[in-house]
Structure 1
Amino acid sequence: MTPVVHVEFFEFRGSLISFRRYGHGPTALLAFHGFGQSSEMYTQLGQVLREHFTVYALDLFYHGESWYADDQLITKTYWQGLVNAFLQAMAIDRFSLMGFSLGGRFALALAETLAGRLDQLILIAPDGITRSPWYRLATGSTPGRWLFCFFLRHMSLLTSVGHGLTAVGLLHRTAMRFAENAMGTAEQREQVYQSWTKFRLIRPDLNVTSQALDQHSVRVRVFTGYYDRIVPGTYAQPLLRRLRSYELTVLKAGHNRLVDQVGEILAKRPL
């Protein structure tokens, strides 16, 4: 039976980060979830890795019970400062990072400045390496953000456009289903808008990040899904081409099946 893991909170500059702590292993692992998820998604992974890692699964802002107190965009400097403060509060010196999908972008933003303290960087279908054209269109300019907001308020029109793009081959049907599931309610649409727009400055510098990872000999492990149409494996290539050393594993799975499979692999080869 999986034990119940209670939500804990960490305060930073008036904002709150909610998180869950899994396991009791000797190595600290900070884990970040994907869009529309929460730290609870790491329950199974935390259970299978409990002897090897103490997993700190943090809820990104606009997810779980985390609460962002400001109206300003979330910058890399702010995010790095928050996690540094969290590490200090938890008395963590060396640690590893894990990021799935959207969480991969946040993990990479930390690797830029914290590579000297990292044992491993574990990326699972990571966002933030290749920016999708749809994300650039929706967040990259004031007109784009206005149009994005307009479509979110007129979902029937957005759905019609999406199905039209699918019909002509410009949007994969799996990505369309993912979008429909992620924006089914008004609350979900607000989460999409806030996350996409407020997170747009969290963009890792791939040159700086790769140099830092190489310099400090961080073990980089990348997992992608052969059937993943949300974050295809090719999206990781711009980072991998810059690294001297990395481990790439392609799993026969779609996007949402990856994390639990990775947990089983890491349980056999944790370090």
Structure 2
Amino acid sequence: MADQLQLTYKKSTILFHRFGHGPEAMLAFHGFSETGSSFVCLEPSLGQRYTVWAIDLPYHGGTRWRESTHFAKADLEAIVQQLMEENGLHTISLFGFSMGGKCAMEICHRFPGQVRELYLLASDGIKTRTVYNVAVYPAWGRSLFKSIISRPGWFFTFIRIMHRMKILSPWLYRFTMNHMDTEEKRQRLYDTWVSMANFEIDIKSLKQTIRQHAIPLKLVFGERDEVIPPAVAHEMAAGLPTATVRIIRRGHYFIDDKLNHTLEELTEI
């Protein structure tokens, strides 16, 4: 079972799910369309060593983002700093899955002296296939996407044609249909993508920080992941003596109880 805790940030309310009873603090960042509660299934492997604080990122779960601007790096840094100060957390480990990997890397880069370890699981922000990377889209492309929120008819017709012609992969077709079938979901996707486009990570600089502070880096990627190719893990680990890589026989979404075996091994390294 996880406790739910709220943090007030400016006009917004940020929800955290806290589980585990370990002596070390861990801050976890989930993927798109998930919540911090997605990680509770990992308590068997994480809970003895860590007390995990798993955030509901803005536009997800119980967090209510009421600011006039999209969630940005400065907001993330301020929220983490506030969480640590209010709860007496002097050092933390970071755990980021997919989209959440960007957040974990940003905090590692910003507060390296307070980071014990960095876990990146199928992490966005290192090297993502172009079709999934909104950061490379031109401004008119984002405007077009915004218009789809309230008028999606033509877009769905286009997507179905692309799927029938086998131009669009089955995975991307399912993702699109599952996450854009209501106006609320389309708004969440738009807000999240625009927000995450501003979370570009300077990987060269981050790796220098990891080397300088000898931060253990633990990478877990899926062998069949078509969003974040597993080769990315080896690219990230190159030149980092503190890095450990595990490629598992999964696709992109692998946060479930089957992951506990791999994490049990990694927490002992």
Is the TM value for this pair above 0.5?
Answer: yes
Q: Which amino acid aligns with 2:252?
A: H
1:13, CA displacement in angstroms? 2.1
Matches for 1:234-249 after TM superposition, within 5 Å: 234-236=231-233, 238-241=235-238, 243-249=240-246
Counterpart selection for 2:43 from 24, 42, 46: 46
Is the counterpart of residue 160 in structure 1 residue 153 in structure 2?
A: no
- Over the residues paired in the alignment, what is the CA RMSD in angstroms? 2.2
Rounded Cα–Cα distance in structure 2 between residues aligned with 1:167 and 1:121: 41
Could you say what secondary structure the match of 1:232 adopts? Answer: coil
Alpha-carbon spacing, 1:120–1:174, altered in 2? closer, same or farther (3 Å): same
- Contact 1:122–1:222 (Cα < 8 Å) also in 2: yes
Return the offset for 1:6: 3.5
State whether structure 2 residue 217 is matched by structure 1 residue 220. Answer: yes
Distance 2:136 2:68 in 1: 16
Deviation at 1:134, TM superposition (A): 3.1
Q: Deviations over 1:203-224 (max 9, x none)?
A: 1111221111111111111111
What is the aligned counterpart of 1:255 among 252, 255, 262? 252
Q: Map 1:134-173; keep pairs closer than 5 Å.
A: 134-136=131-133, 140-166=137-163, 170-173=167-170
- Give the alignment partner of residue 105 of structure 2, picking from 103, 108, 114: 108
Establish whether residue 203 from structure 1 lines up as the match of residue 200 from structure 2: yes
**Structure 2 residue identity aligned to 1:222:** L
| In 2, Cα distance between equivalents of 1:153 and 1:139 | 23
Instruction: Select between 184-193 and 170-179 the one with higher mean Cα deviation.
Output: 170-179
> 2:19 corresponds to which residue?
22
- Which amino acid letter does the alignment assign opposite residue 227 of structure 2? I
| Count of matched residue pairs | 268
Structure 1 counterpart of 2:74, from 69, 74, 77:
77
Report the Cα offset of residue 108 of structure 1.
0.9
CA 1:96/1:143 → structure 2, altered by over 3 Å: closer, same or farther?
A: same
**What amino acid maps onto 1:115 in structure 2?**
P
* 2:29/2:96 contact within 8 Å kept: yes
For residues 131 and 266 of structure 1, the distance between their equivalents in structure 2, rounded to whole angstroms, comes to: 24
Deviation at 1:65, TM superposition (A): 1.0
| Residue of structure 2 equivalent to 1:66 | 63
Q: In 1, Cα distance between the equivalents of 2:34 and 2:238?
A: 30
Change (3 A) 1:212 1:53: same
Instruction: Specify whether residues 131 and 256 from structure 1 end up closer, same or farther in structure 2 by C-alpha distance, changes over 3 A only.
Output: closer
- 1:129: how far off? 1.5
The one-letter code of the counterpart of 1:106 is C
Structure 2: state its 5+ residue gaps.
none
SS of the residue 2:110 aligns to: helix
Answer yes or no: is the 8 Å Cα contact 2:146–2:190 preserved in 1.
Answer: yes
Greater Cα offset, 206-215 or 137-146: 137-146
Alignment CA distance shift 1:115-1:166 (3 Å): farther
Q: Structure 2 vs 1, CA of residues 167 and 143 (structure 1 numbering), >3 Å: closer, same or farther?
A: same
Cα distance change on mapping 1:219 and 1:139 into 2, 3 Å = same
Establish whether residue 176 from structure 1 lines up as the match of residue 165 from structure 2. no
Question: So what's the TM-score if we normalise by structure 1?
Answer: 0.89
Q: Does 1:99 align with 2:120?
A: no
Contact 1:31 1:55 in 2 (8 A): yes
- Of 66-75 and 148-157, more deviation after overlay is shown by 148-157
Alignment partner of 1:257: what SS?
Answer: coil
Give the Å deviation of 1:225: 0.7
